[in-house]
């Protein structure tokens, strides 16, 4: 059973997290390149935010949104 857990450890240390070791070594040379994954996620998040805001504006300007005021029955 002990070998099973050592196998899991070996997989994650030597295979799954190997790209992060590359980024750690790259950080000493170029910080921006080492954080490329973070920059990519930030760009995707900003693009999704802009898209979402444009969609909300289009629905709001077409008066497609239901703006009726309702409350729950227990209020």
pLDDT tens, position by position, 27-75: 889 988 888 889 999 999 999 999 999 999 998 888 877 777 777 766 6
* pLDDT (average), residues 9-31: 90
Transcribe 11-70 into DSSP letters: HIIIIITHHHHHHHHHHTT-HHHHTHHHHHHHHHHHHHHHHHHHHHHHHHHTT-S-----
């Amino acid at each position: 059973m002990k070998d099973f857990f050592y196998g899991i450890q070996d997989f994650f240390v030597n295979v799954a997290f190997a790209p992060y070791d590359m980024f750690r070594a790259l950080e000493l040379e170029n910080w921006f390149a080492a954080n490329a994954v973070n920059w990519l996620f930030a760009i995707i998040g900003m693009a999704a935010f802009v898209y979402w805001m444009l969609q909300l504006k289009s629905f709001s300007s077409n008066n497609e949104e239901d703006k009726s005021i309702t409350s729950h029955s227990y209020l």
